[in-house]
Structure 1
Amino acid sequence: MNSSKQKQSLIARVIKEPLFAFMIVGGLIFGISAALQPQTSEKSDNIIEVSDVTIDRLTAQFDAAWKRDPTPEEMQGLIDTFIREEVLVREALALSMDQADAVIRRRLVQKMTFLMESASSGAQPSDAELQTFFEANKDTYAGKQKQSLEQVYLGAQVSQDDASRALAALNDGADPLTVGQPSLMPGALTRAPAQVVDATFGRGFFASVLSQPTGVWEGPVRSGYGYHLVRVTERPVAAEPALDDVKEKVIEDWAQQATDDISKKMYQSMLANFEINLPDTQENVTQ
């Protein structure tokens, strides 16, 4: 009984290994490549096979578009179109029209990229793997930093003396509404994340007051509109989530990382089959 469980456990570990997925996809690539290689027989080059599989595919495509099977006349038209396409494609390949064509190259790269990325599709992490990934990337899942603040607008330009007088007045208890210049900007924001603060005052404003102590007016702080005096009233600590709170997102990110890792390994394996010749100025650059 224990031996059977050990074998099952070993098989499960092997199947989850990226190398196993690579071998499967590598075999698939080899099979596709072999199937697409032109045959040496002159007879096969001149034969266009309209097989039952071809008929089924054409029928399925027609049904997907029109929600019914094609009539005999429509089926004949589909076959004629398939034959015409096959003739033109083979003649184009015979004339090497696929060579040095940027559109075809991009499409082939897309197909190979999709094939490599599909190697990890359906892979699921163990609880231990997921926990390890979560711990290594915990900052990614932490709650957004927020700040509550008040601000007084001093204007597009302000002298140092005027800014100092306004700052002293505010720290002495002056009503913010009696200091500075009127504007359409809000006088306060409550528990606002960087996206909201920067959307209100301009990019970088949130970060510029992030190190400012709370409860004290400071500045002037520059925004996209001019200069401000700012008092940070609250800076709540960002919540640190538990794995169960963000498990779906962590699994998604783990799967993307696994896909990236396998794709890189497969590319490096393919790259090893080639000798790269570069100009002297780019020697040793192969990536």
Structure 2
Amino acid sequence: MADGAGQMATDAMVAKSSASAPHILAMARKAIRDPLVAFMAAGVALFGGYSIIERAQKPPVVFTPQVEQAMVGEYETLVGRPATAADKARIKRDYLAEELLFREAIDRNMHLTDGETRKRLVDKVRYLIAGAPPEPSEEQLVNHYADNLAQYRAEPRTSFTQVYLAQKPADAALLLAQLNAGETIAGDDFWLGRAFPRYGDSMVRGIFGQPFVATLKAAPEGRWFGPVRSPRGWHFVRKSESIASAMIPFPAIRDQVRQDYMIAHSNAAIDKALSGLKEKYDVEE
């Protein structure tokens, strides 16, 4: 009797389930046709897709066993003893803090807006692209020197003496006559003094400005002239020597030629890579 009652209960449940199946299917079809349900389903799908994309773009910060092993090993080598549990906890904490701060810096676009950060990244990529150039042979250096002779000319130089005045003198003609008569004029203190032996044009330009250089080059030697105005004040000047531009012999400038050659070698590799990078990134010229 018990077995018969159990079988009857089972048959009743199956019959009830079979009877309710069409009802459930009808409810499902109605729900699918409901605009609100469809909207919610689309929202769930979009959110799920966005989460997947976000996770791909921003991989999680994970302190992997490989990272831990490397950092603990480095720490133990540095301190000369096994790392304790506290040491390992601190290593993990410091790693995660540095990684989070680095990612925050990237998220704030500091690599795009901070000039020093940009420069370091650019220099790093330059090195990764170009690598360390091979040591040039003597023949290559001589050829580089011969192909770039204009870079290895000594600039014109001038030797001169000055008397500096902070303010324009009211009796300029009298002072000039006294100087040319061999008299001494005290003048004001100048931070570089009075004598400028064999100064290159670029040095004179940096101190006194280009108009001073032009006046100095056009002036005769052995006579005082002026006063010449500069951004620093007023100057009576006597030119004593003019040295024309001349080639610098290769042995005297070999180290500079070597440096220039290696820079040119690296720049050629960078230029070659840039054409591919322009295709990779959207460049508007």
TM-score for both structures, normalised by structure 2: 0.56
Aligned AA for 1:118? L
1:34-72 deviation digits (Å, cap 9, x = unpaired): xxxx999xxx98997413xx34521343146x4324324
1:214 equivalent in alignment to 2:221: yes
**How large is the RMSD of aligned CA atoms in angstroms?**
4.5
The separation in 2 between residues aligned to 1:267 and 1:70, in whole angstroms, is: 48
1:67 equivalent in alignment to 2:79: yes
Mapping of residues 85-164 of structure 1, within 5 Å: 101-103=108-110, 110-111=120-121, 113-124=123-134, 125-143=136-154, 145-153=156-164, 156-158=167-169, 162-164=171-173
1:184 equivalent in alignment to 2:189: yes
Displacement of 1:103: 2.3
1:89-138 deviation digits (Å, cap 9, x = unpaired): 6xx98xxx787531255768854651332333332334444334323444
Displacement of 1:247: 1.9
**2:279 matched to which residue of 1?**
272
Please say which structure displays the higher CA radius of gyration.
2
The separation in 2 between residues aligned to 1:82 and 1:187, in whole angstroms, is: 59
1:195-220 deviation digits (Å, cap 9, x = unpaired): 77578x74444554133232233333
1:175 equivalent in alignment to 2:188: no
TM-score for both structures, normalised by structure 1: 0.56
Displacement of 1:249: 2.2
The separation in 2 between residues aligned to 1:83 and 1:193, in whole angstroms, is: 53
Please say if residues 147 and 190 of structure 1, whose CA atoms lie closer than 8 Å, have aligned partners that are also in contact: yes
Please say if residues 150 and 189 of structure 1, whose CA atoms lie closer than 8 Å, have aligned partners that are also in contact: yes
Q: Secondary structure at the match of 2:218?
A: coil
The separation in 1 between residues aligned to 2:61 and 2:160, in whole angstroms, is: 78
Unaligned runs of 5+ in 1: 1-37, 277-285
The separation in 2 between residues aligned to 1:206 and 1:67, in whole angstroms, is: 61
1:259 equivalent in alignment to 2:266: yes
Mapping of residues 40-59 of structure 1, within 5 Å: 49-51=64-66, 54-59=67-72
The separation in 1 between residues aligned to 2:119 and 2:205, in whole angstroms, is: 40
- Aligned pair count reads 223
The separation in 2 between residues aligned to 1:60 and 1:208, in whole angstroms, is: 68
The separation in 2 between residues aligned to 1:152 and 1:222, in whole angstroms, is: 12
Please say if residues 157 and 226 of structure 1, whose CA atoms lie closer than 8 Å, have aligned partners that are also in contact: yes
Q: Quick check: 218-227 or 241-250, which moved more?
A: 218-227
Q: Secondary structure at the match of 1:235?
A: strand
Please say if residues 154 and 226 of structure 1, whose CA atoms lie closer than 8 Å, have aligned partners that are also in contact: yes
Mapping of residues 187-266 of structure 1, within 5 Å: 187-193=194-200, 202-204=208-210, 205-206=212-213, 208-237=215-244, 240-266=247-273
The separation in 2 between residues aligned to 1:67 and 1:117, in whole angstroms, is: 32
Unaligned runs of 5+ in 2: 1-53
The separation in 2 between residues aligned to 1:117 and 1:109, in whole angstroms, is: 12
The 1:132–1:237 alpha-carbon spacing in structure 2 relative to 1, beyond 3 Å, is same
Aligned AA for 1:246? I
1:175-229 deviation digits (Å, cap 9, x = unpaired): 141xx56333445433344577578x74444554133232233333113454333
Structure with the larger helix share = 2
The separation in 1 between residues aligned to 2:60 and 2:162, in whole angstroms, is: 78
The separation in 2 between residues aligned to 1:122 and 1:237, in whole angstroms, is: 38
The 1:117–1:80 alpha-carbon spacing in structure 2 relative to 1, beyond 3 Å, is closer
The separation in 2 between residues aligned to 1:234 and 1:109, in whole angstroms, is: 43
**2:18 matched to which residue of 1?**
none
The separation in 1 between residues aligned to 2:202 and 2:128, in whole angstroms, is: 35
The 1:269–1:235 alpha-carbon spacing in structure 2 relative to 1, beyond 3 Å, is same
